[in-house]
Amino acid sequence: MSDVLDKARAWLADDPDPATRAELRAVLSRAVDGDDDALADLADRFAGILRFGTAGLRGALGAGPNRMNRAVVIRAAAGLAAYLRDTRIPVDGRRHRVVVGFDARYRSHDFALDTAAVMTAAGFDALIMPRTLPTPVLAFAVRQLDADAGVMVTASHNPPEDNGYKVYLGGDDGGSQIVSPADAEIATHIDAVASVASVPRAETGWAEIGEDVVDAYLTSAAAVAMPGGPRQARIVLTSLHGVGGATVLDTLRQAGFTHLHAVAEQADPDPDFPTVAFPNPEEAGAIDLALALARDVGADLVIANDPDADRCAVALPSRADERDGDWRMLHGDQVGALLGEHLAATGRGGVFANSIVSSRLLGRIAAAHGLEHVETLTGFKWISRVPGLRYGYEEALGYCVDPESVRDKDGISAAVLVAELAAATQAGGRTLWDVLDDLALRHGLHVSDQLSVRVDDLSLIGGAMARLRATPPSTLAGSPVTTADDLLAGDGGLPPTDGLRYLTADGSRAIVRPSGTEPKLKCYLEVVIPVAAASGLPAARETATRRLAAIRSDVSAALGL
């Protein structure tokens, strides 16, 4: 324990932030007095440094190297600057250019200013967003301003106590999130930072990005809706206390939508996220206030963004044949298929892509329209890099509908496209459920589900993956497993990644992988049921529900968690 105490004292001496110094000093004092809880807390804070990876940095706020704080951010900024200096040659003799955005979480603005200070002292042009703005605006600015890199300070949909640091690369990377080997190279440069005190930081010299860049984003995002189409859908919106509220409203209005109702209790940014247990529209209860408002105003559609507005969730009034007459959240794969069909059917074709954990339906839609389809590893860092990309999505509510403007998932432009589709469908006397039924009749009923296991001990995830590799399931829901791909070995024609994929004789699929951003093991399940006629759809949905439940049970048993 003396080693941890020495590390804590050394970190304390190098910490530039009075707030985290005071926090660490208090924990250290209790630990020295023999407080077991403080000793355990200290051991966790100094269990290692918060590692920089393809998701950048993300973790709980607090003092110490295994937390998000100014010391960790300054080191990260210095490492990124060194990486850019070594690998990027600015064009036309100009200086390196880095744009910095931030959300409304605790310390986000501080971390953004520290990043700008480090970049300025490094001799770079540092451009900082004028206010709290969604992640897609930062991703847009990287391309719009021809920057070498962009940094977005956000923890997206993580709990209130977290924050994060997401990096985009410009130039040949086109404004996409970092991928290997850039992540490892940046991490190496971060590790080479001797101390925070050794990192030069300017006190002034960075510039504030003008509102003209924000206006250009709004115009671009609004333009994904084709001019002259129906705009009568009545829409309820929620930003879940995040930074997307005003931007989404402004964009939809610019696109011509006027029947807009924002959830007042969740409209303004609030880092405490007081009305939700977890600020993620996928979580149970997160959009309850939006659904209540939708019932009150007779809405046709609910759109929910996560706190940094790069994801988009959709809810609809239940099908006419459902007895409770309430609302239903669409699965991310359903929205992905609807948007893909809409783009293809309206002539906005090109290469379509989705991650391997997303539904196989998009591939069938693309084929039916004579379009190329590509499957990638999980994450928009891969989807956004598909050559010739026109549309990409992943089941976790991420959609890239305008890759020429934003090479990442964008919950705002996706909201505009969802609104356009809903209004056009409504004007034709139909619902989005009818469109999904059309796709099921054409391509088979594709139904997805997910089993997610959150752990406190990360070693449990490694143990479960090892057990599955040693003893893979021979059947799922009674159907023989015909293909078992170990994605870590590069099976299945993709770059190596830690994951396992099982295909069964009846066309079902299960993929198991550790989450890249949370302490979770995720299992992605899909069944496909052929349907010959509309009259067979209710029975097909029941069959799919039973089969998914059986697969979920079999996978859960195989995990042993």
Phi, psi of 59 (to 5 degrees): 180, 180
Neighbours of 253 (CB within 10 A): 13
CA distance 436 to 441: 9
Phi/psi zone of residue 80: left (φ > 0), alpha (ψ -120 to 50 degrees), beta?
Answer: alpha
Give the tokens for residue 480: 């023989």
DSSP letters of 448-503?
EEEEEEE-SSTHHHHHHHHHHHHS--SEETTEEEEEEEEGGGTTTSS---S-EEEE
Closest by CA position to 127, among listed 155, 151, 105: 151
- CB neighbours of 369 closer than 8 A, spacing ≥ 6? 344, 345, 349
CA–chain centroid gap for 249, Å, is 21
Instruction: Give the bridge partners for 524, in sequence order.
Output: 450, 511
Answer positive or negative: Cα dihedral of 180, 181, 184, 185: negative
Identity of the amino acid at 215: D
Give yes or no: 318 in active site.
Answer: no
Give the tokens for residue 463: 């143990």
Check: CB of residue 74 under 8 Å from CB of residue 92: no
Q: Which residue has the tokens 């195989």?
A: 558
Q: Which residue has the tokens 């998000």?
A: 68
Tell me if residue 360 falls in helix, strand or coil.
coil
Catalytic residue among 2, 29, 108, 156: 156
Integer angstrom CA distances of residue 470 from 40, 239, 466, 500: 34, 44, 6, 12
Give the tokens for residue 408: 């990442």
Q: 274: cis peptide before it, omega within 30°?
A: no
Cα Rg of the chain, angstroms: 24
In the chain, how long is the greatest CA-to-CA distance? Answer: 74
- CB neighbours of 493 closer than 8 A, spacing ≥ 6? none
End-to-end CA, the chain: 32
- Name all contacts of 429-438 with Cβ < 8 Å and 24+ positions apart: 431/316, 431/317, 431/319, 431/320, 432/316, 432/330, 432/338, 433/316, 433/319, 435/338, 435/341, 436/334, 436/337, 436/338, 437/534, 437/537
CA distance 161 to 107: 10
Closest by CA position to 527, among listed 546, 513, 553: 546
- What are the residue numbers of the active site? 156
